[in-house]
Structure 1
């Protein structure tokens, strides 16, 4: 196993730790949840860079890296819905987009069509992780700036919808017809 893949496994193993910190109530649990989420986000950036720089890109890594991203984000969103910090309908749109785009990319791949990550998809991911991070910090830390979490959620939902539409409009005809 190479270094980037080890970081990806670490992110996957961080998911249950994050969930425990989000769903239990003890002094400092939110800060610990934020720390786990932050480390997972930072290792996501690091493993991709490391794999490209050291030419350690593997098929398994290409599969597990986006899976780890989705596990962290989806787990955090579900827990935040349970804590009434994220409206359920917003989480459904964001998570639904992840499922739809992942399925669309899998269908494309089965037909020999490669769909790279788009700029809008990356913007969505950055908005998503920044907003979740702010929500984890909470009103106690953010104070009067906590309103940014609402803006972040709205922007994330918009970016989720727009980036999903971009994938469909850019690649839909090729994927549905089976021609690259």
Structure 2
């Protein structure tokens, strides 16, 4: 396993304590949110570095193409589900993000069945970056009236990238058996 793949795997492992501290922040307060924030920042940095190293040193693998976006999804979806539970954002925002992720994962599975691997596109990367930034800000600020407005940016990018991805991949739907 090369270094970029190890960083991706590390991000998956970090999801467990991240989920714990964010969920328990309603009891543990700011200090728990801060621990969750630090874990999320470290995980986000591994996302940047695994992609950078894989491209720079030609270490791109099918494992990385599939597991890197999956690790991102686990972190982001975990945070959004907990934010709904903590009443930071309305559930429909989380549902839009989760539904898009399932749709894209389904398209990736159709592609894989045909021997294709579809890497994340630029718009999807912008969506992920906006989600990660908004999640970090929410962890620092806690429950406040601005969370809804901040979350609108990643929700719009989620819808836009989902439409773009689906449109570009429609041949997998048409020609699937």
TM-score normalised over the length of structure 1? 0.87
Choose from 159, 162, 165 the match for 1:161. Answer: 159
Structure-to-structure mapping, 1:1-180, within 5 angstroms: 1-24=1-24, 25-26=27-28, 28-139=31-142, 147=146, 149-172=147-170, 174-178=171-175
Deviations 1:34-68 (A, max 9, x none): 11111111110001111222222222222221111
Unaligned runs of 5+ in 2: none
SS in 2 for 1:44: helix
CA shift, 1:118, in A, is 2.4
CA contact (8 A) 2:11 2:46 kept: yes
Deviations 1:88-117 (A, max 9, x none): 111011111111111112212323455342
CA distance in 2, matches of 1:90, 1:153: 8
CA shift, 1:139, in A, is 4.8
Unaligned runs of 5+ in 1: none
Report runs of 4+ in structure 1 exceeding 3 Å deviation.
112-116
CA contact (8 A) 2:65 2:119 kept: no
CA shift, 1:131, in A, is 0.8
CA contact (8 A) 1:128 1:152 kept: no
